[in-house]
Amino acid sequence: MNQKLYMVSLGPGDAELLTLKALNAFKASDVICVPTKSEDNSFNKSISYKIVQDALTLLDMKKTIIPVYSPMHFVYEDWVNEAKVILEATQKYQTVSFVTLGDAGVYSSIYYLLDIIKKKDTALYDSCEVIAGVTSFSAASAQSKKALCLGDEALSIKPINPRSEVHTTEILMRPKIGMDTTSLGEGDFYTYENMYLKDAKTTPSKIERVKKYMTLFIKYAQRD
Ligand SMILES: C[S@@+](CC[C@H](N)C(=O)[O-])C[C@H]1O[C@@H](n2cnc3c(N)ncnc32)[C@H](O)[C@@H]1O
Q: Given ligand 1 and candidates 10, 70, 101, which is best to mutate, with the most ligand atoms within 8 Å of its CB?
A: 101
Measured in residues, the chain has a length of 224
CA dist 9 and 71 (Å) reads: 19
Verify whether ligand 1 is closer than 6 Å to residue 99 (CB atom): no
Looking at residues 162-172, what average pLDDT do you find? 96
pLDDT score recorded for residue 221:
97
Verify whether ligand 1 is closer than 6 Å to residue 35 (CB atom): no
Q: How does pLDDT run across 6-62, given as a tens digit for each residue?
A: 999 999 999 999 999 999 999 999 999 999 999 999 999 899 999 999 999 999 999
CA dist 36 and 33 (Å) reads: 10
Q: Which atom of ligand 1 is nearest to the CA of 104?
A: 6
Domain locations in the chain as residue ranges: 4-136, 170-220
Protein residue with its CA nearest to atom 23 in ligand 1: 136
Protein residue with its CA nearest to atom 22 in ligand 1: 136
Amino acid at site 55: A
pTM: 0.96
Which CATH number is correct for 4-136, 3.40.190.10, 3.20.20.10, 3.40.50.300, 3.40.1010.10?
3.40.1010.10
Q: How does pLDDT run across 198-216, given as a tens digit for each residue?
A: 999 999 999 999 999 999 9
Contacts of 41 (CB under 8 A, 6+ apart): 67, 69
Given a contact cutoff of 8 angstroms between Cβ atoms, the answer to whether 6 and 128 are in contact is: yes
pLDDT score recorded for residue 223:
87
Backbone torsion region of residue 136, taken as left when φ is above 0, otherwise alpha when ψ lies between -120 and 50, otherwise beta: alpha
CA dist 69 and 93 (Å) reads: 19
